[in-house]
Structure 1
């Protein structure tokens, strides 16, 4: 099997996003343990959901590296969701344009590499829609 550079680059970006989610979960855990939360059950639920999301994103990264189509599909959905969060971060009364840019830039790059990886996979399979 030949190396698919777009898949490798996309997998690296997606894996870094997964690590970012794990870091966020660590931050949430510290806040929960230190009592810096308004509602412990809600904070615990958010922590669990963040860990589930991190596991899914890391699984997508592994699948993209292994050139599995389900990984690319899940990763594309993840990038669109990240772009939605970035849009929310740049609008409203408490807008943070730099945070929005920091979220959007890797998501756009990952999308571009995921599309390139999907096109290359289609071309290698000899499908006519790869042009």
Structure 2
């Protein structure tokens, strides 16, 4: 479902920070990486920037989710907090378009975290052990 965000396989990134995020998502298998890749491309096409803190966090999350070091739930929680912080900072600077996109990103990540936590099997469930 989330991989449908990928608009064009041959998109040329304008923002170097978004290009680096895209390169990190290439070849990754997780739903999280696919969602990040697609949304990142949409935001690049809309000329929407990203803070260096959030860029580093997204890249870290993509890598750690892929290796199993971090859950997708936790990755989305981290992004909800980071994008919320960015929205606040952008609004303080009078950058309301940027702030609204960041606030939307915070909300989407919070919702994704909730969805993933409800519909992702626990390690025990993945081994066939169901709660009683």
Task: Report the TM range for the smaller structure's normalisation.
Answer: 0.3 to 0.5
RCO (CA 8 Å, sep 6+): is it higher in 1 or 2?
Answer: 1
Q: Which has the larger radius of gyration?
A: 1
Q: Normalising by structure 1, what TM-score?
A: 0.48
Q: Looking at secondary structure, tell me which structure has more helix per residue.
A: 1
